[in-house]
Chains A and B, each alone.
Chain A
């Protein structure tokens, strides 16, 4: 909560705000069933003090978006190892838009070639993490860029 947004508030108001907890969803769209990476990330988010909704494997973009809205998360982290990210990641962004939930931040991780970055960013994916990314780095990015939405 060290961002500029909180500076104009009184000490008491900041105590109130500190009670706000980031809610994030970790989801695995597509057909690959390797969710070890997603589970590790979920645990890491929990240790960072976030509430993590885990939805398991084989999720369609529509299921992910519906769950994100029901759970009122601030962030959806997608993990995809099957190579279908070019279709699946933008589809999640679209499905969120259809539910008027475009304010939910979407990031993606997996084996993603650099030439795909631009089309993913253009589609509304806010950040991409490839296997070289550290867990701490991901948490830090989230802390800096994702806020509890008003």
Chain B
């Protein structure tokens, strides 16, 4: 098929069109993904998450520079939230990465969450596949961490970077609340700021307290301090170290059973997303267009029925078994 071939050749226009059509839920686009799927599985997928304004995009830009020096082909997916009120979004991560715009070895694509259940944009999984088939060796996925998104991003990544900044007050709280489990590498960004070494010490002691089972695979998450991005030399050195750690983690995954288990987790999530797209959403669309939902809401208002009975009525209609 023409589209598949073009994507294999790395054609940006074809790839970005296809991502768009996936985002928009165009059915024919899915048949292309079916053809791409067997060709995927070569890229190293790196998730980058952390609080708003932590410097994630600046870091991604730096990592891209490092990877390009090593001749690696890179894809970047930058996810920003859709406004739940207007459906619009401002996707501003590119601002920090525009110096790579003309580099043919780099493909940067911004994605809006489009109010996806969960949090990460619905098209992320497929966009990763598309970049993978394009021959991107490393795919960086940036997302603002707000709890659910962090969980979602690990489902799509092999290696997860959690970016923290000093002076947020409750950062350690957040770590205790679950970031600890998802981070493969910690980054203390803006370490030039007050509180940088305090945060470092807190992180170290937190890692020390973790049960041995937490590092059962033999990987203890390293902590990389990134100095001021306004002093190019120290920034570049820190980012070089970070890029090194990312590669080490990749090697660790490949050498242990971990890569297989992450791939399995990814596969399970993709399946459940596909089921949502092909089963749940079409049913909802149908119920909305034919006016069933509105009518059922009225039944609830009048207390002539209850949510469970109505849902069961829908299940009877659509579920054959």
Chain A neighbourhood of B17, CB < 8 A: 72
Interface of B is mostly: mixed
Chain B neighbourhood of A55, CB < 8 A: 94-95, 98
Report the bound CA distance from A48 to B85 in whole Å: 10
Report the bound CA distance from A1 to B83 in whole Å: 20
User: Is B202 engaged at the interface, CB distance under 8 Å to the other chain?
Assistant: no
Q: How would residues 5 to 44 of chain B score, 1 for a CB under 8 Å from any chain A CB and 0 otherwise?
A: 0000000110011011001111100000000000000000
In chain B between 57 and 102, which residues have their CB closer than 8 angstroms to a CB of chain A?
82-83, 86-92, 94-95, 98, 101-102
Q: How would residues 179 to 215 of chain B score, 1 for a CB under 8 Å from any chain A CB and 0 otherwise?
A: 0000000000000000000000000000000000000
With beta carbons under 8 angstroms apart, the residue of B27, B101, B286 that contacts A67 is B101
Report the bound CA distance from A129 to B92 in whole Å: 23
Q: In the complex the two chains form, is A52's CB within 8 Å of B88's CB?
A: yes
A-B interface contact total, Cβ < 8 Å: 98
Stretch of B107-115, B152-160, B162-170 contacting A (4+ beta carbons < 8 Å) = B107-115
Known contacts: A15-B289, A23-B20, A54-B95. The answer to whether A46 contacts B90 by CB under 8 A is: yes
Known contacts: A15-B288, A19-B24, A148-B24. The answer to whether A71 contacts B90 by CB under 8 A is: no
Report the bound CA distance from A16 to B101 in whole Å: 32
Q: How would residues 1 to 18 of chain A score, 1 for a CB under 8 Å from any chain B CB and 0 otherwise?
A: 000000000011001100
Report the bound CA distance from A54 to B95 in whole Å: 7
Q: Which residue of B lies closest to A62 (CB)?
A: B102
Report the bound CA distance from A12 to B289 in whole Å: 7
Chain A neighbourhood of B94, CB < 8 A: 53-56, 67, 71
24 A-B pairs within 8 Å (CB atoms) are namely A12-B285, A20-B24, A21-B88, A46-B89, A47-B88, A49-B86, A51-B110, A52-B90, A53-B91, A53-B94, A54-B92, A54-B94, A54-B95, A59-B98, A63-B101, A67-B94, A67-B98, A67-B101, A67-B108, A70-B109, A71-B16, A71-B94, A72-B17, A101-B13
